[in-house]
Chains A and B, each alone.
Chain A
Amino acid sequence: MSLDSKDAIYKKVVLAGDYWSHEVKKGQYFRIVDCEGNQAADTMFYALDNLRERYSAQDTINHQKNVYLTKGSEIISNRGNVLLTITDDTCGRHDTLGGACSAESNSVRYDLDKIHMHNCRDSFMAALREYDIELGKKDLNSNINFFMNVPISPDGKSTFSDGVSAAGKYVELKANVDVLCIISNCPQLNNPCNAYNPTPIEVLIWD
């Protein structure tokens, strides 16, 4: 089934470096579009019934016995439930091992002086707090890096590889339960994950 953007009940362009949060209800389809190509969309999901139930990379990887996410992947929670399913994917591969950049990781990876630069974890924190003042650092867990290609070699090395994404590529998910989706449209300027140039993404929801 191909969804027409004319029929979407919600459409929003998330600007370069910005963050976004929204509820996606059971049965709704949710699409993220990489508008200009090679833009990391760092994404977390929470079950609306109980926000302590959230996306778990380890459970998702164990469940599908594969470290990459693509069409057919089930997005599994820390309680072993299916939160969403990837129903379409024109990019082909998404990372969930690389985690999200933070002030602290910027200081370790690049330089102690980079601690003040924009990062995904601060964006996640801001988005969580705007949604519910009770949410905070303890609610941060593993995330998906949509549109990022991070191959793992048989000897365990991970590298940022040439992007497999391109302008207009998208990933589409169907919600299996009501979820809260939080996206940090990655503002990282110190590594090639956004080709040193963060760009917009677009999010769409269909009933």
Chain B
Amino acid sequence: MMNFLKQVGDYVKEAGQAAKFIGQGLSVTFDHMKRRPVTVQYPYEKLIPSERFRGRIHFEFDKCIACEVCVRVCPINLPVVDWEFNSATKKKKLKHYSIDFGVCIFCGNCVEYCPTNCLSMTEEYELSTYDRHELNYDNVALGRLPYKVTDDPMVTPLRELAYLPKGVLDPHDLPAGAQRAGLRPEQIVAATPAKTDSTKESNAS
């Protein structure tokens, strides 16, 4: 008999606890309703891409020596380098250069290995078109620079989470001049004592 009563008591206790936990959960969801939306209202607000953002690739025609390293390091040999040998100067003359961004995976290998730094990553990510062939950028299209989010008067630029001051989670209405947590790269460089390049010298000698 006592055993049975104990079972009933435990059961009631468990039911009470379940109700308590559901109540706690409800209070959490209710609390969230008062908070400001965390979503970025895209066409009107845009996040500022980080400095390492791998967007559409920029290409400088005049710097290119048509070495085709970009083609070799590309996982799918994507860049099309059209050159012809100029027998007078005994140099390759670049005629056309194109990358199809419908196929590119933005791995950045070509940018990494380009010997003359004529390839670079931009922060442009709005590449949608109605026809996929429009994504095949030739050297003129590749040479265009994207419009910066911070310069667009139609757009409210928002900082990404890592670029907000310490303890701040909301990118809206930041005080002017608010800095991200931690030191900026140039501050780190200034803080570290200037090193003598002993390792390099020893390697060279």
- A and B: interacting chains: no
Residues of B within 8 A of A (CB): none
Residues of A within 8 A of B (CB): none
